[in-house]
Amino acid sequence: MPITPTANIWMNGELVPWEQATTHVLTHTLHYGTGVFEGIRAYETADGPGVFRLTEHMERLHASAKIMMMDLPYSVAELVAATKEVVADSGLPSCYIRPIAYYGYGEMGLNTLSCSVDVAIACWPWGAYLGDGALQGFG
């Protein structure tokens, strides 16, 4: 399913325009696969988008980063607030949310001690994961 852009992506503490949310081709994680991410859903409710188990997702993101020896520069509470910010900014009634943390540009090689840790949170509209007809024949 193609991605439909929203206005902004949260990157390292601020909302930036979708088209400016980029990383360099020599970013460490792109070469060594040392990033972590979560896949989260926000569902339409009468009170606005409701993010499913947001705190638990951000706790798991932190746990995954710890396994990678990646010290996230944002607390769970800060990432929860950032997710709420980017979802509210999108204006979407429901969406898919992708927080990602990765070792940034500036150092190459297996040693990550001098690498920055960058964090981004994007959201976009995404219908039924397996397609609108996925549940036909069930129930």
Question: DSSP for 17-58?
Answer: EGGG----TT-HHHHH---EE--EEEE--TTS-EETTHHHHH
- Its pTM stands at 0.90
pLDDT of residue 130: 55
Q: Which residue in this structure is represented by tokens 């996230």? A: 72
> Which whole-number Å values give the CA distances from 51 to 6, 28, 40, 78, 83, in the listed order?
17, 30, 7, 15, 9
Q: Where are the domains of the chain?
A: 35-124
Instruction: For 5-40, write each residue's pLDDT tens digit.
Output: 999 999 999 999 999 999 999 999 999 999 999 999
pLDDT of residue 74: 98
Q: How far apart are CA 31 and CA 49, in angstroms?
A: 35
Average pLDDT, 10 consecutive residues per value, the chain (139 residues): 93 98 95 96 96 97 96 98 98 97 91 93 83 54
Annotation: CATH topology of 35-124: D-amino Acid Aminotransferase; Chain A, domain 1 (3.30.470)
pLDDT of residue 128: 67
pLDDT of residue 127: 76
Residues contacting 40, CB < 8 A, separation 6+: 51, 52, 53, 54, 57, 83, 96, 97, 98, 99
pLDDT of residue 68: 93
Q: How far apart are CA 49 and CA 54, in angstroms?
A: 12
